Amino acid sequence: MAEGDLEIEVAFAGTDEQSVVKLCVADGTTARAAVTMSGLPLSFPDIRFSECLLGRFGSRIDEDARVESGDRIEVYRPLHLSPKEIRHRRAGLR
């Protein structure tokens, strides 16, 4: 690891599997760039990573936010239904 490099993780949970990739990135790397460098978009070709929201330890962040050493950048899949809609559908079935 060179001076100025940061150790981070990029995490994604698909419907059937999870993946966490450890990376060493340069200072100033954005969250979106880290996702691209992780290779996850190639591992999950059915997911449009450019449309996914990003987070850091469970808190939403902008894609141009700069990563910091020790960060866990999380990729959030788009929801097909909102949690509220799911509850309404379950209530209708009972």
Condensed to tens digits (0 to 9), the pLDDT of residues 44-56 reads: 898 889 889 999 9
- Give per-residue burial for 6-33: e unless 16+ CB within 10 Å, then b: bebbbbbeeeeeeeebebebeeebbbbb
The CATH number of the structural domain formed by 5-93 is 3.10.20.30
pTM: 0.80
Mean pLDDT of 13-36: 94
pLDDT score of 78 more than 60: yes
| Phi–psi pair at 9, nearest 5 degrees | -125, 145
Tokens 């790397």 locate to 29
Per-residue pLDDT band for 14 (boundaries 50, 70, 90) equals confident
Q: Which residue has the tokens 């809609």?
A: 85
Q: Is the dihedral of CA 15, 68, 71, 56 positive or negative?
A: negative
Q: How far apart (Å, rounded) are the C-alpha atoms in residues 44 and 76?
A: 13
